[in-house]
Structure 1
Amino acid sequence: MKKLSVISNHSLTQAQWFLFFFIAALVLWGISLGNVPLRDWDEGTRALVAREIYRTGNWLYPTLQGKSYLLKPPLMDWAIALSYSMGGVHEFTTRLPGAFFSACGVPLLYGVGQELFRQRLPAVLAASVYLTLLPVVRHGRLAMLDGTAVSFFLLLLFCLLKSRQDRRWAVGVGLGVGLIGLTKGLLVVPLGAIAGAFLLVDRQFNLLTSPYLWLGLLLGNAPAFAWYIAQWQHYGTSFLQVHFQSQGLERLSQTVENHGGAPWYYFLELLKYTWPWMIFWPGGLYLAWQKRRSSWGCLVLIGTIGYLLIISVMNTKLPWYIMPVYPFFALAVAAQLAEFWQNHQRYPRFLIVMFGFLAVAGLAGCVYFILADPQPVLILMGGVVALTMGVVAWFIQQNNPRFMLMLFLGMYLILGLLMTSKSWVWELNEAFPVKPVAALIREKTNPTQVVYTSFGYGRPSLNFYSDRQVIPADTATLQRVWSKQPYLLLDSATLAALSLPDSVSLGTAEGFTLVTPKPNFVAPL
């Protein structure tokens, strides 16, 4: 049976594969990490909280622009504040901790695959798929909590699987639980339930009596419990109300901040962002069902179905809630690819059609970028997509398993090109460029003065870059507060409509004018 030695070669040890995937992930997660501004909402909020920790030294009771911040546990904010203390306050140091922790998920998934499949080939394939999934890379690079929480979950699963041979690994299970709880709070409940269900289905009952498991749970959860108790003692029931009720339980039954969606919302997310691996996912799920009595089959089914069901019935829908599904997605795809690798006498013809279509789409994208968004990196990326998918289709037509190697290398290069462009955080196009406006506010206003704006909603990134509190207000409110002599940041239509008497323009940026009352003009500091 023909196999490709470049992937299935056993001359590489498990430690070397760990190192290979770790370095490959660090490069992809770290390249051009600070080349675009922070986005709203999560990145701006994380940066504001971490900067206040860094400036004030208040590590136990974080604040957001001077007010108590009760929404999220502090582990990521601590990590970013530490990053600030070592490298200064800017985009790269803001994103670095999350990117590092998220990148660790790639070698961890390789370890999980090795323990589940008991073969190196599907483990390598699973880590390679996870490494080249667009949402995994992109969200992992952002200063957000989800990529880090998923890596801690993979640490939990890896230690759970390793403990089948050596009970001492069970200590890591408890550490993983504690780290998830200190990163994203209530997310530990569904992820812990998935791990617990797998433990029971996999008949690891003896682990429940292992002192190593309980020692790990004690050590891992002690810091989280200590922090939660400290918050409760300091803030009382208001902390419980905000942290657990508003940020957790209400999202199950209510649509928070208009972030709703249909029950199939997350299936559409998978369809939009997991190409080309989506082509192999249905076959991988079918194989998991066939092998449901095996460890890998039952874990893929429990994780995929269980977690998708939980987030689909929630009324609040956000794209990053789906992040814990991607490791199971990668394992299922890897199972299908391994099956193709070992049985390549004749590949399904529909694969040629699918990759041929993607090649044409890549060529169309190349033309689009030339005409509409002439960034050389994106034009090159479109060309690489077309070339990669075309060569993959040709290899498949030749029944050559090298198509997998070509696909991995091509996707790694494609994602690398995207991350070096200015378009990998595409949400920045949803509103005005924040940095020029923030620079105007920072240079022309008193640091202690609140700024009111006619823009429709508050932007944490604007608050971060301006180092001021910028509050959105309607026209009536702006007219009322003008008598109190604040600074107003107004778009041209609102400025004309208000007809503010004795106003002085301090400057204009991105269609917004900063004005202040003439008698109380404050000179730039």
Structure 2
Amino acid sequence: MRELHKSRSLVWSLFLLFCIVWFYGLGARTLIPSDEGRYAEMGREMAATGDWITLRLNGIKYFEKPPLQTWMNALTFKVFGLGEWQARLWTGLCGLLGIVLVAHTGRRLFGERIGFFAGTVLATCFMWAGLGHFNSLDMGLAGMMTIALCSLLIAQRDDATARERRNWMLLCWAGMALSALSKGLIGIVLPGAALVLYTLISRDWAIWKRLHFGAGLLVFFAITTPWFVLISLKNPEFPHFFFIHEHFQRFTSKVHHREGPWHYFIPFLLLGIFPWLGVLAQSLWHGRRDSSQTFQPKTMLLVWSVFIFFFFSISGSKLPAYILPIFPALALLVACYLDKASFKNIAATAGLLALAGAIGLALASKVPALAKNPFEIPLFQSYIPWVFAAAAIGLIGGLTGIWLARRQKEWAIVVIGAAGFAYSQMLMFGHEQFGRYSAGVNYVPAIAAELTPDTPIYAVGRYQQALPFYLSRTMILVEHPDEMLFGVTQEPHLWLPTRDAFLSKWKTDHANGKKAIAIIRPDIFKSFQEQGVPMRVIAQDPRRVVVTNEAGK
């Protein structure tokens, strides 16, 4: 039987089918708080105001991150209008770009079959496939860092021509620049530190002569400097907050309250690499052996993966998606191992997938037990069929992979990957009802019906991250500045710092017949009821109460 990776028509057919599912998933779910709503709203505000320099969230200066993703979201909204798939298009494209780059790099460095395996592995990893359909900065950063990694690997291979080396290294520098514009200095610090460690381990001192430093630095600063200079001139407070608070203090302290133990990322790595968990340890061990004469790509991949994982593990700020940039390197290492893996290793990997499916089938009916209150029970009940379907796909795919492992290795790998990808996508699709509740979008029609162009909306005690995007309106924060503390410190007139200040304004507007709307934390709403605050309830659930100061008609 002809090897699968050599059939261009079959490979392109599989890729086309994958792309259809990939892009469909971008618009299949509601944007959920907090990241998805936040970055969609920032892009909406940029597109609406035309200010491409000063980043704002809810109309308030927001300097935590650089502008690349907000730029891309704003451009998407300008071209295609507002919507879920538009808000996720940039992350979706970055995820797909990473898959294509990893497949191309594997082919150039290790051969066509490993390139095919590498693309398959990355495309079907739970974390990569999941975050490729989630509007956050992490996939944008990972996509740009994948440009840097893959360009470096291709440029430094032993048989690269001088022209190839120069062009790919300039692309590497551009990738680091775009990484810096995605999420800050880690875009160059992490690749740079990984390269230093690689040099010490491999003794490949000559690589520093092959980096095209002069032209590369020109490319890097030509891409990054304009925005950093312009925003600093326009907002003198930016440099200290961004470079000191958001980099040094975030890494060395617990200022953002995102701390975690040293082993915080281990379970996310194990879950994120699924369905390839069965060969992860072997792939890392196999990566130690690199017989290349000069440049050692496997060593570089191993150093990249281990160092970035270690870097975030010792950081004072931790979130699960921080380790996403290691997955392209892991995919290449896994692909190299799969190329030589025995049928037993492939069957064991498929067996883990089947086991996950069996566990899912056994536990699916228990999902409603996760509900925190009676309101959530039907939401979790609606999730049960999706969990059953996902688990069934995992079980069938895993058993089929076991059967194919001895007979047709490449098809076994494709089936394992396809089943794992379908497993993760089904779980994401099924989350929609809970996502709508989390975002509060079921109440958008009721709120919109009460709004006039000059009706203020107050967020009392909690900022609703997704609703501003769906309402195309900013809100006036009350009492709780959330992550906009720095911004309201700079522009204190944009919020009400105390509950008393809000009540005074609310009652005055009510007395003067001026309509206002408030989205209130439930415990605060109860307190207002006890005080006799004039309110008419528009919508209510355990997360929020939406009221107006206008009496019912």
TM over 0.5: yes
Identify if the C-alpha distance between structure 1 residues 393 and 67 changes in structure 2 by more than 3 Å, giving closer, same or farther.
same
Match of 2:301 in 1: 300
| Deviation of the 1:70 alpha carbon | 1.7
CA drift at 1:253:
1.4
Q: Distance in 1 between matches of 2:498 and 2:475?
A: 16
Q: Deviations over 1:111-161 (max 9, x none)?
A: 222233x22222211111100011101112222222122222222223223
Establish whether residue 379 from structure 1 lines up as the match of residue 388 from structure 2: yes
Q: Structure 2 vs 1, CA of residues 181 and 348 (structure 1 numbering), >3 Å: closer, same or farther?
A: closer
Amino acid at match of 1:331: L
Alpha carbons 1:181, 1:224 under 8 Å: kept: yes
Single out whichever of 219-228 and 505-514 deviates more from structure 2: 505-514
Distance across 2 between alignment mates of 1:447 and 1:333 = 55
Structure 1 residues 405 and 515: alpha-carbon distance in aligned structure 2, compared to 1, 3 A threshold: closer
Question: What whole-Å deviation, never above 9, does each CA across 1:41-69 have from its counterpart, x for those lacking one?
Answer: 22222122211221121112232233323
Quickly say closer, same or farther: Cα 1:265–1:150, change in 2 above 3 A: same
Partner of 1:228 in structure 2? 228
Residue correspondence of structure 1 range 6-155 to structure 2 within 5 A: 6-9=3-6, 12=8, 23=16, 26-116=19-109, 118-155=110-147
Residue 270 of structure 1 aligns to which amino acid in structure 2? Answer: L
Number of aligned residue pairs: give it.
Answer: 503
**CA distance 1:492–1:323, change in 2 (3 Å):** closer
Distance 1:28 1:185, change over 3 A: farther
Q: Is the 8 A contact 1:308 1:325 kept in 2?
A: yes
For residue 149 of structure 1, give the secondary structure of its aligned residue in structure 2. helix
Q: 1:429-479 deviations in whole A, cap 9, x for unaligned?
A: 8x7441134444443245555544455x323212322313153548x9435
CA contact (8 A) 1:7 1:124 kept: no
Given the superposition, is the C-alpha separation of residues 438 and 269 from structure 1 closer, same or farther in structure 2, using an over 3 Å criterion? same
Structure 1 residue 409 corresponds to structure 2 residue 418: yes
2:534 aligned with 1:503:
yes
Distance 1:312 1:357 in 2: 29
Q: State TM-score, norm by structure 2.
A: 0.80
> Which residues of 2 match residues 214-363 of structure 1 at below 5 A?
214-236=214-236, 238-291=237-290, 295-340=296-341, 343-344=342-343, 354-363=352-361
Query: Structure 2: which amino acid aligns with 1:462?
Result: L
Provide structure 1 residue ranges, at least 5 long, that are not aligned to the other structure.
none
3-state SS of 1:31 partner: helix
The answer to whether the aligner puts 1:468 opposite 2:474 as a matched pair is yes
Mapped contact 1:129–1:330 kept (Cα < 8 A): yes
- The question of whether the paired residues in 2 share the 8 Å contact of 1:52 and 1:63 is answered with yes
Query: Does the Cα contact within 8 Å between 1:207 and 1:213 map onto a contact in 2?
Result: no
Q: 1:349, 1:27 → 2: CA distance?
A: 29
The change in CA–CA distance for 1:350 and 1:167 in structure 2 (over 3 A counts) is: closer
One-letter amino acid of the structure 1 residue matched with residue 119 of structure 2: A
CA distance in 1, matches of 2:184, 2:247: 9
**Percent of pairs identical after alignment?**
20
- Once residues 91 and 255 of structure 1 are traced to their aligned partners in structure 2, the CA distance between those partners, rounded to angstroms, is 33
1:185 Cα shift? 1.2
1:393 aligns with 2:386: no
Give the residue type in structure 2 aligned to 1:463: P
Deviations 1:265-314 (A, max 9, x none): 11111123332211110011111123386723202320121111100000
* Compared CA separation, residues 45 and 157, structure 1 to 2 (3 A): same
Corresponding residue for 1:489? 519
Check whether the contact 2:350–2:398 (CA below 8 A) recurs between aligned residues.
no
Query: What is the one-letter code of the residue matched to 1:133?
Result: C
Q: Aligned partners of 1:330, 1:490: CA distance in 2, in Å?
A: 46
Which of 434, 441, 450 matches 1:435? 441
> What SS does the corresponding residue of 1:5 show, helix, strand or coil?
coil
Distance 2:210 2:412 in 1: 45
Q: In structure 2, what residue type is equivalent to 1:105?
A: G
Cα pair 2:121 2:276 within 8 Å, conserved: yes
TM-score by length of 1: 0.84
CA RMSD of aligned residues (A): 3.4
SS of residue paired to 1:460: coil
1:359, 1:38 → 2: CA distance?
A: 27
Q: Contact 2:141–2:182 at 8 Å: present in 1 too?
A: yes
The one-letter amino acid paired with 2:265 is Y
Distance change (3 Å), C-alpha of 1:211 and 1:108: closer
Partner residue, 1:459? 464
